[in-house]
């Protein structure tokens, strides 16, 4: 089954608690993203500092991501991935135009995010989620 990202995820990098660059050190993270052992074919991953800093996002493609500029310290990681069900729906407010029904692939228990600690030596960081 081909998993496709349906819709646009607008995840903006914003400065929390101030203006401009936080001036802090960053790391580049990369790794695998899977759900119940299956790679996430397409999606987005975001890293938001728990303190002051700029959020960073990266695409997930064929189960892999690479994110540069991830702030060091405690970071909230959020995963976004959807797939089409094969059913078409209509939007009456949009003149009855059909659009594909999609479902969220990220298990509900992980939708609020995962907290990790990012250090200068952090490089490989896999996210292997389970729905159980």
Q: Which residues make Cβ contacts (< 8 Å) with residue 79, sequence separation at least 6?
A: 33, 40, 43, 44, 45, 60, 106, 110, 127, 129
Domain ranges of the chain: 15-110+121-129
- Alpha-carbon gap, residue 131 to 111, rounded angstroms: 11
37: nearest Cα among 116, 103, 105: 105
Query: CB of 117 within 8 A of CB of 72?
Result: no
In order along its 132 residues, the chain shows pLDDT tens digits of 333 333 323 232 322 323 334 457 899 999 999 999 999 999 999 999 998 888 999 999 999 999 999 999 999 999 999 999 999 999 888 788 899 999 999 999 999 999 999 998 778 999 999 988
Q: How many CA atoms within 13 Å lie on the side-chain side of 80?
A: 14
CATH 1.20.1300, domain 15-110+121-129, yes or no: no
pLDDT of residue 103: 93
């Amino acid at each position: 089954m081909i998993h496709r990202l349906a819709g646009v995820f607008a995840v903006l990098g914003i400065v929390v608690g101030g203006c401009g660059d936080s001036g802090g050190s960053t790391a580049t993270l990369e790794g695998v993203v899977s759900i119940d052992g299956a790679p996430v074919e397409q999606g987005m991953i975001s890293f938001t500092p728990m303190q002051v800093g700029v959020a960073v996002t990266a695409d997930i493609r064929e189960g892999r991501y690479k994110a540069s500029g991830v702030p060091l310290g405690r970071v909230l990681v959020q995963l976004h991935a959807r797939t089409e069900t094969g059913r078409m729906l209509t939007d009456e407010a949009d003149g009855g135009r059909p659009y594909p029904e999609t479902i969220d692939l990220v298990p509900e228990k992980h939708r609020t995010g995962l907290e990790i600690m990012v250090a200068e030596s952090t490089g490989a960081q896999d996210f292997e989620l389970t729905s159980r």
